Amino acid sequence: MRTYFITSKVILLLFFLFNFILHAQISSDSSKFQKDSNFVFQDSLRTKLFYLEEIEVISTKYEMKVRDVSIPIEVSDKEEIFNTSGSTTSDILKNEPGISLSRDGIWGTSISVRGLSKNNIVVLIDGNRIETATDIAASLSLIEVNDLNRIEVIKSAASSLYGSGALGGVVNIITESGFYPKIFQLSGTTISSFNSVNNNGSGTLAFNLGNTNWFIHLRGTLRSADDTETPRGILNNSQFRNSNYSIFSGYKFLGNQEIKISYQNYLAEDVGIPGNSLFPSNAEVRYLKAERKLSSFEYNIKNPFNSLAKIQTKIFYQEIDRDVENIPHQVSLSNNRTMRTSVLKITPNGNHKTTGASLQSNWILGKTNLLIAGFEAWQRELLTDREQERLIEVIDTNTQSVISSTHKIIGEKPIPDANYRSLGFFVQDELEIIEDRLKLTFGGRIDQIHIENDEVYNPLYEITNGSINYSPANKKIIWNEEEVEDISWSGTASLLYSLFEDVDLTCTAAHSFRSPSLEERYQYIDQAGLLKIGNPGLEPEKGYFFDAGLRIWKEDLNFTGNIFLNLLNNLVADEPGMFEGRAALIKTNIGKARLYGFDFGFKYNFLINYSISGILSYVNGDDTENNNYLSQIPPLNGRIVISADPINLFQIGVAANFFADQDKVAPGEIRTPGYVTYDLQLFPVPFNFGFNSLQISSGVDNITNKSYRNHLATNRGLITSEPGRNFFIKIRVEW
């Protein structure tokens, strides 16, 4: 394994050197056609360090500026992504207000949005759903960060456009997918990066070929990382490596029509999963493979007639494969210590297939009235299997020698073969009541959900010393064959009021739902650690959501602040119980739950080339039925960054990240103390040489090598110390 990592680092280094030589040669050649081939600095006269209000988003189902969106939304744009050291999508989003990072290792990460996570968040890649496992799912890690153009996060159930699962919000990940150049052109981009805390190196190469009517965009990335260093020592089994390639193409014809076709393939291998509570504390667990393949076809017609602005049809197919290896190092004695049973290895596998189709139409019903209507259908198919390999030895208690041994492999199906189908119809009407002053948005969606699963027997078979038996003596039904029908609805009403030209007020009220996932209904996780069991009788989660916000868009000051209240019924949670005589966590509906809090962010240019920015987030979660706190609620947290661009050549920033104590914990949770960490960022001004442009991002995370515990990681798994001091650098060359 170490040999692979060393080889990968050498390949990445040679990759970067090759591209540097290539670009230098292009620059040299281009000087023949230029009178001046000296470096040219970009934006050398800039006087502002941010332009937040000009960002456009598409998670509203059509393009619009952030300041025109009435629902709470956060955006990480291309430059923000490039200027962070994060190697996963979750790492990047952790610095947005109301969003917190959770870990199942270093590669396997997820987020919490205002106290809700995973099952309660819809994740999209270029508008296509990721439907996958809920425990150690790492769905946000199945995307290469060097491919990201921007990330849009709708906080809470503020949109009725996305159907089941969006109680906590929507994460829409938009990748670099190519463009139409004005003249025939071949252009390219290379990105190289390195993080010292785990020797994480990556190299990306991209090409775009096309003209005004067509383009082909190709991208490829290699990345690998060793075990992560923490202030308390090495976090063993936290290594990973991945490769990624994608192909996008577009074609415009007849003046108003466009076809887009894409394919993405992301493959992670030898991914360590350290310290998850599903496994024994000394277990060695890793993904042998985690692969995501996505194919998509999109057809757009713009302005087919006066009142119809756009018709968009889309189909996609996405497949996610996971092969896990768990070496639990578990040995037990029985029969008065005359029999020793060693669990050698457990290898669960999962195949998740999602097929989807949608049709959307955008109607202009008047000068100030936009109506969006359409339908979406998708189906998820889940296939799983698991083998447990055991060695059973008969021991002589006097000599401790082995008298006889039996090698046994037990085949199981942890989750039934199952299908989850959803068909939804949605409509949203945006109406400007007072021009440039008051805008109202109403939306609704109704979904018909059908779930069915096969009957499951466990164990399926036993292989004893090479002899297979498909009818073992202890074979029994774990899950019966079932079908479930569910019809649910969601609705949203939001208001955007311009109190002054540069001050806006927002207000949102919504009702949303989530039909429990296949894993929550039929889960049977037995990894020689904590037993987790599903519940076919789970009721759909439902809730009411309220949000009020204030936004300021002055030339030197951007501010967005929101307060929120979420009232939930039948929230699905893990409750301690017994299953077949063993202690287990069983999926259960909590009768009533309440989440409330606030989050805000600001950016302020207090001098021409100096700025201060920050975020502050707080959420409190109550199980009001049982008078307890909810689990996995992040503490009060924030971030302050002071940035300067004193001589128009580079930007330097110092950041302080702070988290309060979390003492409002659910039964069985661990209280975590507060902490403060500091980061340093250095971004030279991008500059041109020849036909090329060069941009560098660098910095130091956790400057003081502070040892601290992330409440969401500590209480989900066994990771008690986050990554230590990290020096990082990124280099992007465009030509």
- Tell me the pairing of strands 73-76 and 148-155: antiparallel
Domain boundaries, the chain: 2-734
Instruction: Quote the pLDDT of residue 102.
Output: 87
Residue 501 has pLDDT above 80, yes or no: yes
How far apart are the C-alpha atoms of 593 and 621, rounded to whole Å? 7
For residues 525 and 350, is the Cβ–Cβ distance under 8 A?
Answer: no
SS3 114: coil
- Residue 582 one-letter amino acid: R
Instruction: Say which range, 13-22, 356-365, 509-518, 724-733, has the weakest mean pLDDT.
Output: 13-22
- The tokens describing 206, both together, are 């991209």
**Is the confidence at residue 99, as pLDDT, over 90?**
yes
For residue 296, what pLDDT is reported? 97
pLDDT at 577: 80
| Mean pLDDT, the chain, whole residue set | 87
What does the block give as tokens for 400? 């401790």
Query: SS3 of 640, please?
Result: strand
Q: Measure Cα distances from 674 to 400, 638, 677, 696 in Å.
A: 50, 12, 10, 33
Give the HSE-up count for residue 318: Cα atoms under 13 Å, Cβ half-sphere.
Answer: 27
pLDDT digits (tens, 9 = 90+) for 698-707: 999 999 999 9
225: which strand partners? Answer: 240
3-state secondary structure of 179: coil
Q: How many CB atoms lie within 10 A of CB 368?
A: 14
Identify the band that residue 134 occupies on the pLDDT scale cut at 50, 70 and 90.
low
More confident residue, 276 or 21: 276
DSSP 649: S
* pLDDT score recorded for residue 528: 55
| Mean pLDDT on 359-385 | 93
**464: confidence class by pLDDT, cuts 50, 70, 90:** very high
Q: Are 734 and 23 spatial neighbours (Cβ–Cβ below 8 Å)?
A: no
What confidence score (pLDDT) does residue 38 get? 37
Examine the pLDDT at 170 and tell me if it is beyond 70.
yes
Structure token digits, residue 189: 């981009």
Domain 2-734 has CATH 3.40.140.10: no
**pLDDT digit string (tens) for 279-305?**
666 788 899 999 999 999 999 999 998
